[in-house]
Amino acid sequence: MAAPLNYHHLYYFWVVAKQGGMARGAERLNMALQTVSAQVRALEQSLGHALLKPSGRALALTDAGEAALAYADQIFQLGEELPAAVRDAATGQGVRLRVGISDGLPKLVVRHLLRPAVDDGGVRLLCHEDEFEGLLADLALHRLDVVLSDRPAPANPNLRLYGHKLGEAPLSWFAPKALVKKRMSAFPACLAELPLLLPTKHAEVRPRIDQWLDREGLRPRVVGEFEDSALLAAFGRTGMGAFPVSRWSREDLMADKAVVLLGDSPELTEAFYLISAERRIQHPLVQRLLKAASEDAGA
C-alpha cells in the first residue's frame, strides 16, 4: 500500500509552481528558501518522479509536474472553499463571491459590474483591492474567485488564468462649475483652457487618453495624476480641475450640482475584464456576471 500523500509538501510545490521559482514561492509562503526546496524534493521522492526542471533562471514543470499541478489545483481550490461552505451552510448565509479589484478600476464601475451578482440578495460579497499582479497571484492560488481589472490576463505560462471581456465604456469629461467660464471654447478644445486631472500611467486607459488629446491637438495643463479613480473624481468635484469618467460613473456625476458636463468622447473607451483561474466557469455568481455582460453587449 502506497504511503499517504503529504499535503504540506504538495502545497509548497503548488505555490512554487504558481510563482515560477523556489525563491518566489518561498517569499509568497514567508518561509526560508531551503525549507521550501527540501519539502518539494521530499514530494518528488515520495511520488518517484521529478516535478520541476531548470528553465533559465526560473523553474518549469516536467510532464509529471503538469499532472501534479492539475490535481493540486483541484485539491486546494476545494480546500479553500471548504471552511466557508461549512460556515455558510451552518449559519444560513448565501453564496460567497470573493472578488479581487484592481486598484486602478473606478469604484462606480465596480458597482455596475457586480450589480448582476448581488441584486437578487442571498449573496455574501467579499471585495479585496490590491495591485494587479498581487491579485493574479491570489487568484492562481484560489484565494479569490475572480479579479476585475481594466486590463486582460497577461500571457504567463506559470499562471493558468483566463480573461473575459465584460465590456467597454466611453469616457465623459466633467469640470467644477466654479472653473467653467462663459467664454470658453467648445468641447474638447476647452480642456486646454482648464487645469486637468488624469489617471496615472498605472491605468490601462491613460495611454489612450494621451493619444486622444494629441490627436485633438490639445496640450492641457495637467495639475494632478491619481492611481485611485475615486480620489481623482473627489479632487475634481472639489474644484481642482476637469477630469474624465467612464459612462457608468457619468449618471452619478450628472446629479452633482458642483460639476458640469463638458462633453463626451465616444471614440475614447475604457475596457473592463473579468479574470478567472478556470477556463470553464463553475461559480454561479460569476456565470451571472458574464451572462449580464453578454446581454448588455448585445443590447
The tens digit of pLDDT for each residue in 168-188 reads 889 999 999 999 988 889 999
pTM: 0.65
Residue 166 has pLDDT above 80, yes or no: yes
Give the residue among 69, 87, 89, 90 at the shortest CA–CA distance from 25. Answer: 69
- Please give the distance of CA 276 from its chain centroid, rounded to a whole number: 10
Q: Which residue has the higher pLDDT, 159 or 67?
A: 67
Give Cβ neighbours of residue 83 (< 8 Å, ≥ 6 apart): none
Task: Considering the chain, tell me which residue range(s) the CATH 1.10.10.10 domain(s) occupy.
Answer: 7-72
28-32, 156-160, 215-219, 229-233, range with greatest mean pLDDT: 215-219
> What's the mean pLDDT in 16-28?
89
Q: Write out the three cell numbers for 143.
A: 484565494
In terms of Cβ atoms closer than 10 Å to its own Cβ (0-12, 13-18, 19+), residue 199 is buried
pLDDT in tens, 72-107: 887 887 777 677 667 665 555 667 889 999 887 877
Q: Are 92 and 66 in contact (CB under 8 A)?
A: no
Q: Give percent of the chain with pLDDT exceeding 90.
A: 40
The per-residue pLDDT of the chain, averaged, comes to 86
CATH code matching the domain that covers 7-72, chosen among 1.20.120.430, 1.10.10.10, 1.10.1060.10, 3.40.50.300: 1.10.10.10
Backbone φ and ψ for 114, nearest 5 degrees, come out as -90, -10
Looking at the domain 168-270, which fold is it?
D-Maltodextrin-Binding Protein; domain 2 (3.40.190)
Task: Considering the chain, tell me which residue range(s) the CATH 3.40.190.10 domain(s) occupy.
Answer: 76-165+272-298, 168-270
Residue 109 has pLDDT above 90, yes or no: no
Q: Give percent of the chain with pLDDT exceeding 70.
A: 92
- Please give the distance of CA 61 from its chain centroid, rounded to a whole number: 26
Looking at the domain 76-165+272-298, which fold is it?
D-Maltodextrin-Binding Protein; domain 2 (3.40.190)
Q: Can you give the pLDDT at residue 72?
A: 86
In terms of Cβ atoms closer than 10 Å to its own Cβ (0-12, 13-18, 19+), residue 211 is exposed
Give the residue among 202, 78, 198, 56 at the shortest CA–CA distance from 133. Answer: 202
